Chains A and B, each alone.
Chain A
């Protein structure tokens, strides 16, 4: 056999190996999820109640903690088991029950201020994580029902205990169908 031919064949194979190796390495770096987008995707599964029951100051910090491995996926009571399952599926882990140390799931609720009793101290305003309370010092305060996430954070600051949580009012979620006449 022609030694030149062997040499060329080896050279071609080596060149191929190097090129493919570089290409694959580059492709892998493209596919590899970067940390930021993982946090985004975890955050998208959290209920956004922003209640802090997970002991992080909001859903996104908790998402970051899950992404970095600092926290387990079982700490969000508003999301309940459904959220744990969704997180488990995303992260390819096995689902686990909610950790009761962080609280128990509750039906959807919204805050309601008894406007007769409100003294206008404005202490509930900074507590609300989604700016769902409207008011000003010495004015009556009220909750924008549509924006309230039911996180309960406005309850402790109120000196006259005039805020209570009520079940979410029934809204018609019905999609109107064109009907046969």
Chain B
């Protein structure tokens, strides 16, 4: 089945995918050391449960969390925790507290890691809890904990599990490689996710520029003989793989700005996440590794690598043949939404689907470009897949006009980067919007705190007044009683 794009605009970009996708997935030998960032990309961190010096095995829990937006972390190596410290990391701000583990060369597996005897006997709630314990998080780029999405999908009665295999961003092809090599795992994981979400059907969306993946997935589905499982081919238009845009394409329903995908009856999961769920079911393995695309004109042999979480990016680049030419930028993610990193010492995170070593040829035209005034050409609004008016948002962002920013939908911007990609005046629009959003959030948090303080202060003032009045009354009634039994009954006060 094929679907037409129904979200506004978007753009067909140069794919640059053939570089890394020609060869099979490379299995990286266990590195000597890993650095696990507590924040794995969702923006929120877990809490370490091991101390420096602790001995760990593969799969030992090293950080836990009750917070719905963070995910648990497990050691991908057998060895010793050598440090828990702030280091370079591929997260916002460029640094995060990391648990550093050094390997002792063995491949001892933690006793807690056992295959899940019969995942079908677990209730959706039990399944969700087990996936949370296994630290399963969105491997598509957001790192959002899967269990949290599953719970919200059940609460809202979502009927459709949408498996995202669109992989629309240029350069990235780890999901493509995974679907081609492990289609059965993806389908197995999808069935478990579908049950955990309480959904009845599962749709796997793949862009039409990946015929091999479409064939592999279709084959795997036929082997399952499940009528409520199907592949939908979607046009290769960036950003087809963005959650809300993909839902619109597949279901024709637009997710309301202040709603969740589950409000449109859909829960969205990445194909790589489904494969990780299958690994958890067959081996009991929490997320210890992921497939990541190492590519760009700045690496010798672009390829897809399965590597332990926390592996230094330098090690990944070395496994892809090392640097070549004059690399200009090291980017975690693709060229549109990725984050430039200051150092290749940062570790691989669950959310990182691509390491792009870009040269001037890859991103050159924008580098060092002088920002010119907006000429109101309207190109930005013509491409915006969220249906926003970037040109007006830009003016509101410059003026820090909070009401206007809210009204123009700065929070519906999905950071896709298309507006600044097309802007002839080379204005870094997306960055401005990200920054404006940060300031808007800070201002709202301050206003909320002030409102709380006002309320608490008012309550306290009222309480003090009431206590004072009560004391006064108590005092007067005692005094009255003291006077009444006296000789002159009329002597009491009023």
Q: A residues near B, CB below 8 A? A: 43, 46-50, 58-60, 129-132, 146-147, 149, 171-181
Contacts and interface: CB of A to CB of B under 8 A. Distances in A.
B445 A180 contact: no
Contact of B456 (A130, A180, A181): A130
A129 B238 CA distance: 54
Contacts of A178: 142, 242-244, 414
A180 B453 contact: no
Nearest to B417: A180
Interface bin, chain B: 35 or more
Contacts of B450: 46-48
B461 interface: yes
Contact of B239 (A46, A50, A180): A180
A176 B69 contact: yes
Contacts of A171: 445
Given A176-B69, A178-B244, A59 B140 contact: no
A130 B43 contact: no
B471 interface: no
Given A130-B460, A174-B92, A179 B453 contact: no
A128 B139 CA distance: 47
Interface stretch (B110-118, B126-134, B165-173, B367-375): B165-173
B144 A177 contact: no
B457 A177 contact: no
Given A147-B452, A178-B142, A181-B242, A50 B457 contact: yes
A130 B168 contact: no
A180 B169 contact: yes
A48 B457 contact: yes
Nearest to B238: A180
Given A176-B144, A181-B164, A181-B168, A129 B460 contact: yes
Contacts of A130: 453, 456-457, 460
A60 B453 CA distance: 12
Contacts of A60: 454, 457-458
B441 interface: yes
Interface in B31-48: 42-44
A86 B245 CA distance: 40
A175 B411 CA distance: 8
